[in-house]
Amino acid sequence: MNYIPIGRARQIGSMLFTLHWFDSIGDASGRAYPYRMETYDGEAQLTAEEPEESEEPEAGEPLPLPVAELHLHIEGTLEPELIFALAERNGIELPYKDLEELRSRYEFTDLQSFLDLYYANMAVLQTEQDFADMTRAYLARAALAGVRHAEIMLDPQAHLSRGVSLETCVNGVASVLAGSREEFGISTLLIAAFLRDLTEESALEVLEQLLAMDAPIAGIGLDSAEVGNPPAKFERLFARAKDAGLHRIAHAGEEGPPSYIIDALDILEVERIDHGIRCMEDPELVERLVDELMPLTVCPLSNVRLRAVDTLAEHPLPAMLAAGLNVCVNSDDPAYFGGYVDDNFAQLQSVIGLSEFDCVRMAANSIRSSFASEERKAELLAELAASGH
């Protein structure tokens, strides 16, 4: 069994994380931006401190479960510190005076209240380097969380509407994903997600542009405000994606009714459902999803923070597992929802007593439900089997 002390892992993690930021956020003269400097110093001091009691158990703790992260919006990984650092680098004045004020806005009442802040904070993403820095920061943190394969959504329309080109956002993210296996031990795929509160024409136009520029995308997704924007609105988009040989996924049953899940399956012919928790209101649908082994990428902390469920204790995940659904655990927008995939697992274990057996089962589900090659899936399943969990 492979153990390292968790406190040490976090120290290494925070060093890696800050060093990467520090490396890439300095300007050409090597000068670090003051905000980063402050953060870097803070982190450096932190890593030099004596570990807190609870962080350094004698026997150490097991390494996190090796998992595939299948539901992750790269823009949702923008941590408050990085938002301020990028704003400074790009000369953007934020409507918050400091981190504390920004963090005070992370009290969401529903999906839309989150989306308003999520889109507003994207203003700091201006250059390819910004997109690359954000992606690198996520991968550094994800590696510590046990992520070994990640399928990462990018919202191109959210950047185009701000005057940021497709090349800037796609190339910035893709340039880092291209080396993610070597740099972080994480194989990755990029998924272009379309905003369902915009028109299908807009989505089709952007998809054609992505295809014309030979963007390295493995598939398309459907996200943003769900209620009132049913899957049927995007029938032609998904048909075009299928025609182009792309994988297809869609958010459904996060806030929207079970009928949206049915339509995503029947009309959009999706291969995975993002969230899908409201399927539990329709026993016939549950039976169908079980029969079809349809993957549901569940995001427990997200559901609590966006009030799709009242508390983690009331989350339907245990019932979904009991029903035999093909569920896995994901972080959605970890910078906004209080944690990465390891934090989701940790809270599921501590708050609802989810068993190690169920965690391993969902880790295996995540690997099998990914769009990775059969060879990569076999490698990851073997890693999971050998992980000691």
Active site residues: 254
Cα distance between residue 240 and residue 269, in whole Å? 12
221 binds, among Zn ion, ligand ADE, none (CB under 5 to 8 A by kind): none
Per-residue contact flags (x/-) with ligand ADE for residues 56 to 95, judged by CB under 6 A: -----------------x--x-------------------
**What CA–CA distance (Å, rounded) separates 58 from 21?**
31
Question: Are residues 75 and 335 in contact, defined by beta-carbon separation less than 8 angstroms?
Answer: no
Q: Does residue 81 contact residue 39 with C-beta atoms inside 8 Å?
A: yes
Question: Which one of residues 79, 223, 342, 358 is an interface residue with ligand ADE (CB under 6 A)?
Answer: 223
Residue 224 touches which of Zn ion, ligand ADE, none (Cβ within 5-8 Å per kind): ligand ADE
Is residue 226 a contact residue for Zn ion (CB under 5 A)?
no
Applying CB under 6 A, what is the total number of residues that bind ligand ADE? 11
111 binds, among Zn ion, ligand ADE, none (CB under 5 to 8 A by kind): ligand ADE
> Which residue's CB is nearer to Zn ion, number 81 or number 332?
332
- Sign, CA dihedral 228-231-232-234, equals positive
Q: Report the C-alpha gap between 308 and 302 in whole angstroms.
A: 8
332 near Zn ion (CB under 5 A): yes
Mutual angle of helices 356-368 and 374-385, in 10-degree steps: 170
Phi/psi at 33 (nearest 5 deg)? -75, 140
> What residue 76 binds from ligand ADE, Zn ion, none (CB within 5 to 8 A, per partner kind)?
ligand ADE
Instruction: Quote the least distance from Cβ 2 to ligand ADE, whole Å.
Output: 33
DSSP code at position 278: G
Residue 81 binds which entry of Zn ion, ligand ADE, none, CB below 5-8 Å type-dependent: none
Q: Which of 128, 254, 263, 342 binds ligand ADE (CB under 6 A)?
A: 254
- Termini Cα distance of the chain: 9
Distance separating alpha carbons of residues 143 and 173, to the nearest angstrom: 17
**Closer to ligand ADE by Cβ: residue 73 or 159:** 73
Closest Cα partner for 25 from 42, 7, 37? Answer: 37
Closest distance to ligand ADE from the beta carbon of 118 (Å): 6
Q: How far apart are CA 21 and CA 151, in angstroms?
A: 22
Number of CB atoms found within 10 A of residue 61's CB:
14
Residue 333 makes contact with ligand ADE by CB under 6 A: yes
Site residue total, Zn ion (CB under 5 A): 1
**Among the listed residues 319, 260, 320, 326, the one whose alpha carbon sits nearest the alpha carbon of residue 291:** 326
Least distance (Å) from ligand ADE to the CB of residue 82? 17
230 alpha carbon, distance to own chain's centre: 22
Q: Is 128 in the site for ligand ADE (CB under 6 A)?
A: no
To the nearest whole angstrom, how small is the minimum distance from the Cβ of residue 73 to Zn ion?
A: 6
Q: Does 151 bind Zn ion (CB under 5 A)?
A: no
By CB under 5 A, name the binding residues for Zn ion. 332
By CB under 6 A, name the binding residues for ligand ADE. 73, 76, 111, 118, 223-224, 251, 254, 302, 332-333
